[in-house]
């Protein structure tokens, strides 16, 4: 319910609650960039928590002119796990917003720049994004449904899938911890124990790991 309220605040500026919260907490920014602020109300704090837990993770930017999307921090790659850039930011790189990657005069991606900065699979994803680059602003849409529109049902399924994934990861870590504990207690030659550890961790330089 709180995620729905946060989504309404972000997309409906004419709502009274949107206007009141903006005036109080983010007069020169937007909902996604808003901070807790000084002496925040309980309502504002729990809405921000819903933003962090749900909206920021399930939402994704749809590229317009690219001026609102931070290349390195925001969700904007629709086919990537997590929707964020994985490529490390090159030293002395002054690229900050997606608009910096666009030739606005001819309305196309700056392909040489993109291929230079990003890992090949990410560069390919970026260059395949729709490139009309209208003068309209970037749009933050709901990435957890096929129609890109928020609903309580899709929000519920998103949270459920996320919790199941986290539970599976936690269970796997617990099991691995027990295995490692038993492994290091084995009375054997140290290099044999280390070899077993390397095999279980897939740290050996075999062909599948190298290529």
Domain boundaries, the chain: 1-58, 63-150, 159-210
Tens-binned pLDDT, residue by residue, of the chain (211 aa): 677 888 888 888 888 989 999 999 999 888 888 888 888 898 899 889 888 788 888 889 999 889 999 999 999 998 888 889 999 999 889 999 999 999 988 888 999 999 999 999 999 999 998 866 666 788 898 877 776 777 777 777 667 776 776 665 455 555 556 665 666 566 666 666 556 656 655 555 544 443 4
Is pTM, for the whole model, over 0.85? no
Q: Beta 139-142 vs 108-109: how paired, if at all?
A: unpaired
Q: Output the six-digit token pair for 145.
A: 């449904």
From CA 59, how far away is CA 189, in angstroms rounded?
A: 52
């Amino acid at each position: 319910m709180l995620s729905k309220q946060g989504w309404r605040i972000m997309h409906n500026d004419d709502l009274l609650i949107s206007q009141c919260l903006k005036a109080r907490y983010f007069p020169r920014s937007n909902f996604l960039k808003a901070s807790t602020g000084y002496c925040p109300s309980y309502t504002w704090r729990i809405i921000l928590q819903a933003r962090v837990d749900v909206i920021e993770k399930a939402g994704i930017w749809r590229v317009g002119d690219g001026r609102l999307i931070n290349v390195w921090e925001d969700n904007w790659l629709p086919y990537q796990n997590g929707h964020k850039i994985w490529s490390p930011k090159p030293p002395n790189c002054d690229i900050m917003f997606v608009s910096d990657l666009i030739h606005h005069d001819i309305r196309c991606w700056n392909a040489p720049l993109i291929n230079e900065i990003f890992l090949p699979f990410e560069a390919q994803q970026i260059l395949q994004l729709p490139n009309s680059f209208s003068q309209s602003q970037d749009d933050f849409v709901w990435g957890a449904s096929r129609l890109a529109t928020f609903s309580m049902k899709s929000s519920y399924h998103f949270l459920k899938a996320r919790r199941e994934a986290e539970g599976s990861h936690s269970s796997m870590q617990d099991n691995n911890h027990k295995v490692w504990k038993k492994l290091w207690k084995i009375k054997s030659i140290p290099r044999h124990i280390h070899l077993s550890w390397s095999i279980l961790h897939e740290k050996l330089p075999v062909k599948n790991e190298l290529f």
